[in-house]
Amino acid sequence: MYVLPHAPPPQPVQPAGDRFVESAVNNTLPALEPWPGLHRFRVSVRTPPPVQHGRQPPYVFDRETNKLYVDMIIAVTFAFRVAEGTDTTRLRVSALPVYPDMHHVNTPVRRCPTHRLPELECNNGAGSFIDHVIRAEHDDAVYQEGGTTKERRSVVVPYERPPPGTLDYLVSYRFCCMNTCVGGINRRRLMVLFTLEDSSTGEALGRQSVEVKVCKCPHRDARTDRSRALPKQRRPASSPDPQEPPSRRPCPAGRLVVEVDDMIEYDHLKAVLASFRAARRGLLRARSTSDSATPALPASVSSDTTSSERDSPAERRTLFKTEAP
Which residue ranges are tagged as binding site for Zn(2+)?
Answer: 112, 115, 177, 181
User: Binding of DNA at residue 200 (CB under 7 A)?
Assistant: no
Please state the closest distance from residue 71 (CB atom) to a copy of itself, in A.
Answer: 13
The answer to whether the CB of 194 falls within 8 A of the CB of 95 is yes
Under the criterion CB under 5 A, does residue 177 sit at the interface with Zn ion? yes
How many residues make contact with a copy of itself (CB under 8 A)?
44
Q: Cα–Cα distance between 189 and 288 in angstroms, integer?
A: 42
Q: Does 153 bind Zn ion (CB under 5 A)?
A: no
Q: Does 115 bind Zn ion (CB under 5 A)?
A: yes
Interface residue with a copy of itself, options 139, 262, 291, 309 (CB under 8 A): 262
Task: Give 98's contacts (C-beta < 8 A, 6+ positions apart).
Answer: 30, 32, 105, 109, 152, 190, 191, 192, 193
User: 148 touches which of DNA, Zn ion, a copy of itself, none (CB within 5 to 8 A by kind)?
Assistant: none
Considering only 255, 300, 303, 324, the residue that binds DNA (CB under 7 A) is 255
Residues between 2 and 21 with contacts to a copy of itself, criterion CB under 8 A: none
Cα dist from 8 to 4, 5, 203, 223, 309, whole Å: 8, 8, 22, 26, 11
Which residue from 25, 68, 215, 222 is in contact with DNA, where contact means CB under 7 A? 215
> Is residue 177 part of the contact set for DNA (CB under 7 A)?
no
Neighbours of 112 (CB within 10 A): 19
Residues contacting DNA: total by CB under 7 A: 30
Residue (of 131, 129, 177) closest to 155 by Cα position: 129
Taking CB under 8 A as the criterion, the residue among 47, 89, 114, 201 binding a copy of itself is 114
Q: Which residues are annotated as part of the binding site?
A: 112, 115, 177, 181
- CA–CA gap between residue 187 and residue 174 (Å, rounded): 18
Hey, which residues between 262 and 301 contact DNA (CB under 7 A)?
A: none
In angstroms, the CA 6 to CA 210 distance is 10
